[in-house]
């Protein structure tokens, strides 16, 4: 195997994911409508409860819409990662996944191509959402759009790897759709996506600890700081280590299973 063959395989997997995304025309619409509803409708009620402005650790006052925008961006990445993993369950039932894994390329490389394609699609959807969010008074520093790219890629790798792990552990398409609700909603709501953790600590200490130990909270904080050209080192380390750990588990879960011989 030479470099040209690896490049051909990489672009083939990425192209396949893009073509599938373009054929599912409602996928982009649903990915944008959901966070936009939260940004416009949900923020109106919570802004009255939390106040017009929130003081954040990066030393600036921001509106509630600006506060929840990184969390909604991470929600887009989370849903896209799970949707991509759902397609793998469908491919396995249709037999196309078996053909892909029977190729001479290493399985870790094939899964890495899948994760990169998912990360690129997540990046596109997030930036479309950020552009639309400008029309509802969500002001993001221009340089923040650039510094947020590595953060979005790392978050997409982590959530995509988590989805790949779940897709291999769940054998039936119907079961995966149900498990998605038990993964997406707890990860999103038990995080700092919609409200500061100090507010959660005032309300309930045990809920605060659940949010604090939720890796998704660190995904949100990593992106929140990145949009303001700052690095949250603690959030970066947690997401980075979680990405490596989940990626290793996902790749081992796709290892061929040996049958016992008598």
**Residue-wise pLDDT tens digits, 152-188:** 999 999 998 888 887 777 766 566 666 667 778 888 8
Mean per-residue pLDDT of the chain: 79
Asked whether residue 19 carries a pLDDT value surpassing 70, the answer given is: yes
Which position has the higher pLDDT, 260 or 110?
110
Q: What is the structure's pLDDT at 262?
A: 40
Q: What is the structure's pLDDT at 101?
A: 64
Q: What is the rounded distance in angstroms from the CA atom of residue 192 to the CA atom of residue 71?
A: 7
Residues of the chain with pLDDT > 70: what percent?
A: 76
Give the residue from 106, 65, 114 showing the smallest Cα distance to 88.
Answer: 114
| Every domain of the chain and the residues it spans | 3-253
Which tokens hold the place of 148? 């947020």
Q: What is the structure's pLDDT at 259?
A: 40
Q: What is the rounded distance in angstroms from the CA atom of residue 22 to the CA atom of residue 49?
A: 40
Determine the average pLDDT of the residues in 13-22: 80
209-223 pLDDT, tens digit per residue, is: 988 899 999 999 999
Determine the average pLDDT of the residues in 8-35: 77
**Among the ranges given (52-66, 92-106, 185-199, 245-259), the one the predictor scored with the smallest mean pLDDT:** 52-66
Asked whether residue 54 carries a pLDDT value surpassing 60, the answer given is: no
Asked whether residue 46 carries a pLDDT value surpassing 50, the answer given is: yes
CB atoms under 10 Å from CB of 172, counted, come to 11
55-105 pLDDT, tens digit per residue, is: 454 556 667 778 888 889 999 998 888 877 777 666 666 656 666 666 777
pTM of the model: 0.84
Displacement of CA 238 from its chain's centroid (Å) = 15
């Amino acid at each position: 195997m030479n470099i040209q063959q690896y490049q051909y395989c990489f672009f083939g997997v990425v192209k396949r994911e893009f073509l599938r995304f373009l054929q599912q025309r409602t996928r982009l619409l649903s990915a944008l409508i959901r966070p936009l509803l939260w940004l416009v409708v949900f923020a109106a009620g919570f802004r009255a409860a939390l106040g017009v402005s929130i003081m954040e650790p990066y030393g600036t006052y921001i509106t509630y819409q600006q506060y929840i925008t990184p969390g909604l961006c991470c929600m887009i990445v989370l849903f896209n990662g799970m949707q991509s993993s759902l397609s793998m369950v469908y491919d396995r039932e249709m037999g196309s996944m078996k053909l892909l894994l029977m190729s001479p390329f290493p399985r870790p490389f094939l899964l890495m191509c899948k994760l990169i394609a998912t990360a690129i699609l997540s990046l596109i959807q997030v930036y479309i959402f950020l552009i639309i969010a400008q029309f509802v008074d969500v002001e993001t520093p221009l340089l923040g759009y650039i510094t947020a790219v590595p953060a979005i890629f790392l978050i997409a790798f982590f959530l995509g790897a988590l989805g790949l792990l779940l897709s291999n552990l769940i054998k039936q398409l119907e079961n995966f759709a149900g498990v998605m609700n038990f993964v997406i909603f707890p990860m999103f709501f038990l995080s700092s996506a919609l409200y500061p953790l100090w507010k959660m600590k005032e309300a309930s200490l045990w809920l605060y600890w659940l949010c604090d130990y939720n890796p998704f909270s660190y995904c949100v904080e990593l992106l929140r700081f990145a949009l303001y050209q700052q690095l949250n080192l603690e959030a970066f380390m947690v997401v980075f280590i979680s990405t490596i750990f989940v990626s290793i588990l996902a790749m081992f879960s796709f290892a061929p299973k040996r049958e016992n011989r008598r």
